[in-house]
Amino acid sequence: MIKVRNIMSRNVITVAPSSSIKDAAVLMATKSVSGLVVVEKNTPVAVISENDIIKGIVSKKIKVRDVMSSEFNVISPLTRFSEITKTLRERKIKKFPVIEDDKLIGLVTETDIVEATRDFTRFHEIVQEAILAIFGLATAFFLFYFSPLRASIFGS
């Protein structure tokens, strides 16, 4: 079973609620991320997305706290992959801060989920190919073992 610890990003880009919208936008642009985790004392209190930044700029709000979204799910590193995908589907949440001992230790994004799904699918395909190869060899062995060709070659 896939656990969050195996797919989370460990270098989480964070911002303080008191930071300016401009600082958050610059941070997103320089780090090439679509959102930030808003933290106080290394504990997530909200998330802020590109859309939140745009809304803040349009409405002339200047601080992260004015536009951040406090509607997010915090998860444990032991959370099962299936739980995350269910929340993603049902609640359309795309970022999951990972907490251990009340501290931010990672982040699972929609991209991490897609990559884990792709990797799991590829692994499943490899296992299927290996099983087919083994059954193919076993079938060939038994067909040869019980065939008249074996008897004529080995004389038995």
Residue of 97, 89, 88 lying closest to 70 (CA atoms): 97
Residue 29: inside a domain, yes or no?
A: yes
pLDDT score for 13: 95
Give me 133's structure tokens.
């190869």
pLDDT score for 134: 92
Question: Of 29-38, 46-55, 135-144, which gets the smallest average pLDDT?
Answer: 135-144
Q: Say whether pLDDT at 156 is over 70.
A: no
Q: Which domain holds residue 24?
A: 4-114
Q: Tell me what the mean pLDDT of segment 128-154 comes to.
A: 84
CATH of the domain at 33: 3.10.580.10
Residue 92: inside a domain, yes or no?
A: yes
Residue 85: inside a domain, yes or no?
A: yes
Residue 51: inside a domain, yes or no?
A: yes
CA distances from residue 116 to 1, 31, 79, 94, 138 in whole angstroms, order as listed = 12, 22, 14, 14, 33
Residue 119: inside a domain, yes or no?
A: no
Alpha carbon distance 17, 32 (integer Å) = 20
Domain count, the chain: 1
Q: Tell me what the mean pLDDT of segment 69-92 comes to.
A: 87
Q: Please, where are the H alpha helices in the chain?
A: 4-7, 21-31, 50-58, 64-67, 81-91, 110-145, 148-154
Residue 123: inside a domain, yes or no?
A: no
Residue 128: inside a domain, yes or no?
A: no
Q: Which long-range contacts (CB under 8 A, 24 or more apart) does 23-26 make?
A: 24/48, 24/53, 24/64, 25/53, 25/57
Query: Which residue carries 């799910």 as its tokens?
Result: 73
Residue 70: inside a domain, yes or no?
A: yes
Q: Tell me what the mean pLDDT of segment 145-152 comes to.
A: 76
